Amino acid sequence: MIKSIRTWARRGRTILGRGRGVKRLTRIARRLPAPVPPRSEVDPNNALSLPARLRRSGLVRPSATRTSAAPAPLTIRRAVMAPAVAAAVSAVPTTPYEGQKTGTSGLRKKTKEFMKERYLGNWVQSLFSALGDEAKGKVIGLGGDGRFFSKPAAQEIIKLAAGNGLAGVVVGRDAVMATPAMSALIRLRSLYGGLIMSASHNPGGPEEDFGIKFNYSSGQPAPESITDKIYGETTSIKTLNVAEIPDVDLSQTGVTTFDVDGSPFTVTIVDPVEDYLALLKEVFDFELLKSFLSRPDFKFKFDAMHAVTGAYAGPILCDALGAGRDCLKDAVPAEDFNGGHPDPNLTYAHELVELLWAEDTDLAFGAASDGDGDRNMILGKRFFVTPSDSVAIIAARAEECIPYFKGGIKGLARSMPTSGALDRVAAAAGHEFFEVPTGWKFFGNLMDAGRLSICGEESFGTGSDHIREKDGPWAVLAWLSILAHENRDVPVGGKLVTVEDVTKAHWAKYGRNYFSRYDYEGCESDGANAMVEHLAALQTSLNAGDMTLGGRKLSLADNFSYTDPVDGSVSKGQGQRFVFEDGSRIIFRLSGTGSSGATVRIYLEKYEADPNKQGLDAQEGLAEFVKIALEASQLEKFTGRKEPTVIT
């Protein structure tokens, strides 16, 4: 870092221009002690201002930078450097644990499982062993959603990183870093990757869930080529390489340096909001948003569900955009999410729903995010926007409402179970379109290849290529940007364009895809798997004879398979599809996001082009297909469940 500050001070007239910023860099450089020889070419404390880092990283296209706004001031802080502490590396014997296979969203288990001796250590060591020499001398990020066990887990991970030859770890203060913020951190600081401690939307606490996953160098979830190697290492692990360094104070930003077997290892504690907020300011028109949110006739509520976005909502919505603190709900993060289930849907975010549906409500907009901040739910006054409609509407309006997309849309994509609403936007605009398996890593490949701008999943995940994760706060700001743009010329006291107005105008243009998902959580795995086998046999029978189900003609009955157009990898068995000739669909899939048992998911979709028939409640519009799905699957027989846990 010190060497970098001196370097940038010398180059200041070329890189940063003339003025106080260069003088400040020069003054800081003169006061700092001689630099420690770097172990890696990666500098976790880049001395450039955040907007400059954004431009150097290539994350922001020139067309996305708002020239009308004043440039952000250059803020360089002197690092808090502790004297280097000498430490050795110990080889700690261990034995494998069964079942440490990494899924689409990392490893998730009950917290008590992770708290077993060397359980977490085995997986982290297996990760570093799988990465091999490629990771040595590199810097990674570390943080999570702040759930129970995160802080002791962070200390253990830091010691393992040091013991396996990494150059350093950049940690969110108090071990906090929302998933989208981690993706941004990796990209902005050119980190090798990052570890995220989260079980996403699952409950937290001593009796609930914990999880961990690795995101790679472009900020995307690790590909199967890495997760498969991790699992292989977990089955034969014998030794943990642990640096004998003391615990680091995670509550204070700054840098601590250790001498580990003769090489420097740095732990850099950073503000978990700063880099992410800087990126959002480059994506959205903050001046337009600030003007809109300050209107006395526009009221909204953001529900952080006592999860990680509580740490972000105040700095973004209130401090940066000027909204009053009364717009925040449950914005104080808790290790157990205050005993709640931080999943932003109509069931678990029912308190927010009740506020928006109240007869006397003055709220025009509501939004919620999940445990680690990568999911979102969008509500209007007594109006719910399905995630499938949400991503389609954002995609349709992005170029005119969000500065980042002024240069054009590269492509659009959705997960296979998500409704076809986005397909119609892509077709109308002539954008390249992709249907991928569930899992954000499939979007990341397309983004890295320059073929994808906006994407989404029906499971309340929406995002774009500004990072390589789904992004809850981004989706909220995208919707607020649409509303701000629509109402920019409406005088105070005039009739505002609402969430419902925007959605119904979209339906009138593209048609409505009635969509719903039925979740049956915590089913016995044997029964759920037996149902899947029954459906496979049914599909074989249908393909061999009359393609009719429930009196309706089918055009397709298969188990979705995907060939990645970028790397040629093939993903099979991604969900059993029954596609009818009119485009309606029924899909069955077992979810891999829980920590125990199985979640059976049924996805139901019906397309309606007639505006006079687009106003039905989704359950009413899909009633026929619900009946067909339950009869065809014999779900109650196999699982014993009569009612779903959640309907969205």
Cα–Cα distance measured from residue 283 to residue 64, given in angstroms and rounded to the nearest whole number: 7
Residue range 61-65: mean pLDDT, rounded? 37
What percent of the chain has a predicted confidence (pLDDT) above 90?
82
Q: What's the token pair of residue 248?
A: 């680091």
Q: Domain boundaries in the chain? A: 2-78, 84-272, 276-510, 512-647
Dihedral over alpha carbons 413, 416, 422, 426 (to 10 degrees): 50
Bridge partners, residue 91, by sequence: 241
- Dihedral of CA 464/468/470/476: which sign? negative
* Coarse DSSP helix, strand, coil percentages of the chain, rounded to the nearest 5 percent: 40, 25, 40
Note the pLDDT of residue 40: 37
**Angle CA 601–102–589, to nearest 5:** 15
**Angle CA 284–287–289, to nearest 5:** 65
Cα–Cα distance measured from residue 564 to residue 122, given in angstroms and rounded to the nearest whole number: 31
pTM, two decimal places: 0.85
What are the tens digits of pLDDT across the range 591-614?
755 445 789 999 999 999 999 999
Cβ-proximal residues to 106 (8 Å cutoff; 6+ apart), any chain: 196, 198, 211, 212, 213, 214, 221
Tell which residue, 559, 556, 529, has the closest CA to residue 542. Answer: 556
Note the pLDDT of residue 597: 76
Q: For domain 84-272, give the CATH number.
A: 3.40.120.10
Distance of CA 589 to the CA centre of its chain: 21
Bridge partners, residue 375, by sequence: 461
Q: What's the token pair of residue 196?
A: 């995220």
- Mean of the per-residue pLDDT values for the chain? 88
Buried b (16+ CB within 10 A) or exposed e, 88-123: ebeeeebeebeebebbbbbbbbbbebbbeebbbbbb
What are the tens digits of pLDDT across the range 451-492?
999 999 999 999 999 999 999 999 999 999 999 999 999 999
Distance of CA 238 to the CA centre of its chain: 33
Residue range 510-514: mean pLDDT, rounded? 96
Note the pLDDT of residue 3: 35
Residue range 192-218: mean pLDDT, rounded? 96
What are the tens digits of pLDDT across the range 150-190?
999 999 999 999 999 999 999 999 999 999 999 999 999 99
DSSP type of residue 266? E
Q: Are 479 and 376 in contact (CB under 8 A)?
A: no
Note the pLDDT of residue 212: 97
| Weakest mean pLDDT among 91-100, 523-532, 592-601 | 592-601
Bridge partners, residue 640, by sequence: none
3-state secondary structure (DSSP) of residue 447: helix
In this model, does residue 1 exceed pLDDT 90? no
What are the tens digits of pLDDT across the range 312-362?
999 999 999 999 999 999 999 999 999 999 999 999 999 999 999 999 999
What are the tens digits of pLDDT across the range 427-446?
999 999 999 999 888 999 99
Radius of gyration, alpha carbons of the chain: 25
Distance of CA 375 to CAs 199, 367, 502, Å?
13, 10, 21
What would the 3-class secondary structure string for 501-545 be? HHHHHHHHHHCEEEEEEEEEEEECHHHHHHHHHHHHHHHHHHHHC
Burial label for 75, CB within 10 Å (0-12, 13-18, 19+), is: exposed
Cα–Cα distance measured from residue 496 to residue 365, given in angstroms and rounded to the nearest whole number: 12
DSSP type of residue 621? H
Cα–Cα distance measured from residue 220 to residue 284, given in angstroms and rounded to the nearest whole number: 22
Q: Are 450 and 410 in contact (CB under 8 A)?
A: yes
What percent of the chain has a predicted confidence (pLDDT) above 70?
86
Note the pLDDT of residue 41: 38
Cα–Cα distance measured from residue 520 to residue 505, given in angstroms and rounded to the nearest whole number: 33
291 is catalytic: no
CB neighbourhood size of 635 (10 A)? 25
Q: Are 518 and 601 in contact (CB under 8 A)?
A: yes
Cα–Cα distance measured from residue 576 to residue 473, given in angstroms and rounded to the nearest whole number: 32
DSSP line for 167-233 = -EEEEEGGG---HHHHHHHHHHTT-SEEEEE--TTS--STTSEEEEEEE-TTSPBPPHHHHHHHHHH
Bridge partners, residue 454, by sequence: 412, 464
What are the tens digits of pLDDT across the range 560-583?
999 999 999 899 999 999 999 988
**Superfamily of domain 276-510, CATH level 4:** Alpha-D-Glucose-1,6-Bisphosphate, subunit A, domain 3 (3.40.120.10)
Q: Are 412 and 406 in contact (CB under 8 A)?
A: no
What are the tens digits of pLDDT across the range 269-318?
999 999 999 999 999 999 999 999 999 999 999 999 999 999 999 999 99
Catalytic residue among 200, 369, 419, 633, which? 200
Cα–Cα distance measured from residue 369 to residue 572, given in angstroms and rounded to the nearest whole number: 31
102: confidence class by pLDDT, cuts 50, 70, 90? confident
Q: For domain 512-647, give the CATH number.
A: 3.30.310.50
Bridge partners, residue 139, by sequence: 168
210: confidence class by pLDDT, cuts 50, 70, 90? very high
Cα–Cα distance measured from residue 277 to residue 53, given in angstroms and rounded to the nearest whole number: 13
Q: Are 84 and 259 in contact (CB under 8 A)?
A: yes
Q: What's the token pair of residue 500?
A: 């419902």
In this model, does residue 60 exceed pLDDT 90? no
Helix residue ranges per DSSP H, 215-370: 224-234, 274-283, 286-293, 310-313, 350-357
Matching fold, domains 84-272 and 276-510: yes
Q: Are 259 and 243 in contact (CB under 8 A)?
A: no
Cβ-proximal residues to 88 (8 Å cutoff; 6+ apart), any chain: 243, 244, 260, 261
Q: Which amino acid is at 55?
A: R
Tell which residue, 609, 584, 601, has the closest CA to residue 515. Answer: 584
Q: Which residue has the higher pLDDT, 1 or 52?
A: 52
Q: Which amino acid is at 435?
A: E
Q: Are 44 and 191 in contact (CB under 8 A)?
A: yes
Note the pLDDT of residue 614: 95
What are the tens digits of pLDDT across the range 224-250?
889 999 999 999 999 999 999 999 999
Tell which residue, 395, 404, 409, 394, has the closest CA to residue 451. Answer: 409
